[in-house]
Chain A
Amino acid sequence: MNVGIVSYGAYIPRFRIKIEEISKVWGDNASSIAEGLMVFEKSVPDMDEDTITIAVEAARHAINRAGVNPERIEAIFTGSESHPYAVKPTSTVVAEAIGATPSLTAADFQFACKAGTAAIQACLGMADSGMIDLGMAIGSDVSQGAPGDALEYTAAAGGVAYIIGKDKLVAKIESTYSYTTDTPDFWRREGMPYPEHGGRFTGEPAYFKHVTSAASTLMNKMGTKPSDYNYAIFHQPNGKFPTRVAKMLGFSSEQIKPGLVVPRLGNTYSGSCMMGLAATLDIAKPGDRILMTAFGSGAGSDSFSISVTDRIEEVRNGAPSVEQLLANPIYIDYARYAKHKGKIKL
């Protein structure tokens, strides 16, 4: 493939809630949850923020970072498990808000936490085949966790947009491989406000099997090994899973460190892995190689082998870094969090 990332942009709402604030309400032990999950606080959307507004802000940052003409974008795909409309695309609002309409195709994707990376793959194929000049793949979520459910400690808000094309690449996508099975570890039925999950079942047969299979098969196909990569990012439903899967695959804690944003951010679902990649690109040097492997419940993994180009230095400061977006949070209590998340019905 001669195709890759032309630009990228991230967005994280400013509000955070700490794990101890949530655990106080439900009578759980804060330190055992925070240390067990390796998540200490999570982002919370403002009252007037949702998956669409977050997607638009991330998309605008991607446009601005590399000074891309939005009229060149001929496909926009937004992955999310929290699209505001059941029917009416998020991607059309994004397209209009960045000035990419009307000569483009657009659609919304859903595949739990890997809908955004599936969107990247769709754009890669279309750009590489010459069907489109540039494509935009977005992962954006204001993920839901039922009050008192384990997910409530991690379900966060954020989004990342990648512009995919063939010219002026900041990172070349060398290869991608996906591993998909019908594994019912997490779902949300039509019309239901909160997802259901299989508890511990989400671990071994779901996350670990799919992530290790996708990453190791990609490396086998390419003839690469963990030491060939400077950095690695694995889907971050919490801090524990990516840390463990990195060790299982033979990656060091240093390789995953720059992309491991979940302890201060929570799980941004479709934005999770893509946020880790954005944080890694923020500090990567030309020539660095990155392995990214997303996971989406249901279940599947998309693995990517990425090589950073010289252009990263030119565009890096054109939009806020993930570290800048994580800085200066506003901490809120559970009552305000419940109001922001619509858990209080008026």
Chain B
Amino acid sequence: MSVPRFWRRLKNLYNLIGTQCKKCGEYHYPPRTICPKCRRSSLIVPYKFKGLGEVLTYTIVHSAAKDYAKHTPYILAIIRLDEGPSLTSQVICDHADIHIGMKVKSTFRKLGEESEKGMIYYGTKFVPLATPPRKD
């Protein structure tokens, strides 16, 4: 990700800021400039999502792209936010705990970095809403 590209998306990544069409009430993430339902009559306003959602499906990544190699194995999930839209994000939890339907909440984490001397990218990932019981 280039620095300007990250900077343009920064508010959306940090705070799950998407949009809502005030005409039909539908929420969008990432943000849209036009509502896919209402088209030309859409009334788009920014909307900050509550950060609560549910795991629709997930996979555990063992073989990742170079920049994420040291993070494997990690959980990548499709999360449906309570307001409706779905997004792809990492879920930070024990691999034994992840399951379809798991309630999750957003958290602020490092998404990656360009290199040791490059820019660090921050944004939203998800953690379980309820802390799983301790296992030791």
Asked if A and B are interacting partners, one says: yes
Q: Which residues of A contact B70 (CB under 8 A)?
A: 47, 339, 346
| Bitwise interface map of B from 74 to 118 toward A, beta carbon under 8 Å scored 1, else 0 | 000000000000000000101000000000000111110000000
Are the C-beta atoms of A99 and B136 separated by less than 8 Å?
Answer: no
Are the C-beta atoms of B109 and A97 separated by less than 8 Å?
Answer: no
Are the C-beta atoms of B132 and A328 separated by less than 8 Å?
Answer: yes
Q: Which residues of A contact B58 (CB under 8 A)?
A: none
A152 is an interface residue with CB less than 8 A from chain B: no
A60 is an interface residue with CB less than 8 A from chain B: yes
A331 is an interface residue with CB less than 8 A from chain B: yes
Are the C-beta atoms of B108 and A53 separated by less than 8 Å?
Answer: yes
Q: Which residues of B contact A85 (CB under 8 A)?
A: 120
Are the C-beta atoms of B133 and A48 separated by less than 8 Å?
Answer: no
A185 is an interface residue with CB less than 8 A from chain B: no
A42-63 residues with Cβ-Cβ distance < 8 A to B are 46-50, 52-53, 56-57, 60
Are the C-beta atoms of B133 and A52 separated by less than 8 Å?
Answer: no
Nearest-neighbour CB distance to chain A for B94, whole angstroms, equals 7
* Secondary structure of the B contact surface, majority rule: mixed
User: Which one of A48, A97, A328 contacts B71 once the chains associate, using CB atoms below 8 Å?
Assistant: A48
Nearest-neighbour CB distance to chain A for B36, whole angstroms, equals 28
A315 is an interface residue with CB less than 8 A from chain B: no
Count chain A residues whose beta carbon lies closer than 8 angstroms to a beta carbon of B.
Answer: 23
Are the C-beta atoms of B109 and A99 separated by less than 8 Å?
Answer: no
Closest residue of chain A to B17, judged by CB?
A99
A93 is an interface residue with CB less than 8 A from chain B: yes
Closest residue of chain A to B106, judged by CB?
A60
Q: Which residues of B contact A46 (CB under 8 A)?
A: 92, 109
B9 is an interface residue with CB less than 8 A from chain A: no
Are the C-beta atoms of A60 and B131 separated by less than 8 Å?
Answer: no
A329 is an interface residue with CB less than 8 A from chain B: yes
Q: Which residues of B contact A47 (CB under 8 A)?
A: 70-71
A249 is an interface residue with CB less than 8 A from chain B: no
Known: A328-B131, A331-B136, A346-B70. A96 touches B110 (CB 8 A): no
Please classify how large the interface on chain B is, using the bins under 10, 10 to 19, 20 to 34, 35 or more: 20 to 34
Known: A48-B71, A331-B136. A60 touches B108 (CB 8 A): yes
Nearest-neighbour CB distance to chain A for B116, whole angstroms, equals 10
Nearest-neighbour CB distance to chain B for A20, whole angstroms, equals 14
Are the C-beta atoms of B110 and A330 separated by less than 8 Å?
Answer: no
User: Which one of A97, A330, A331, A339 contacts B122 once the chains associate, using CB atoms below 8 Å?
Assistant: A97
B125 is an interface residue with CB less than 8 A from chain A: yes
Are the C-beta atoms of B109 and A49 separated by less than 8 Å?
Answer: yes
Are the C-beta atoms of B107 and A57 separated by less than 8 Å?
Answer: yes
Which among B48, B92, B109, B136 has the highest number of chain A CB atoms within 10 Å?
B109
Are the C-beta atoms of A96 and B107 separated by less than 8 Å?
Answer: no
Nearest-neighbour CB distance to chain A for B130, whole angstroms, equals 10
Closest residue of chain B to A49, judged by CB?
B109
Q: Which residues of A contact B8 (CB under 8 A)?
A: none
- Cα distance, A330 to B131, chains bound together (Å): 11
Q: Which residues of B contact A331 (CB under 8 A)?
A: 136
- Cα distance, A93 to B15, chains bound together (Å): 11
| Bitwise interface map of B from 51 to 79 toward A, beta carbon under 8 Å scored 1, else 0 | 00000000000000000011100000000
Task: List the interface of chain B (C-beta within 8 A of A).
Answer: 10-11, 14-15, 48, 69-71, 92, 94, 107-111, 120, 122, 125, 131-136
The 9 closest A-B pairs by CB, nearest first: A48-B110, A56-B108, A48-B109, A97-B14, A328-B134, A328-B131, A53-B108, A53-B109, A47-B71
Apart from A56-B108, A330-B134, list 17 A-B contacts with CB within 8 A: A48-B71, A48-B109, A48-B110, A48-B125, A49-B109, A53-B109, A57-B107, A57-B108, A85-B120, A93-B14, A93-B122, A96-B10, A97-B14, A99-B48, A328-B131, A329-B134, A331-B136
Task: List the interface of chain A (C-beta within 8 A of B).
Answer: 46-50, 52-53, 56-57, 60, 84-85, 93, 96-97, 99, 327-331, 339, 346
Q: 6 A-B pairs, CB-CB below 8 angstroms?
A: A48-B92, A48-B111, A49-B109, A52-B122, A57-B108, A330-B135
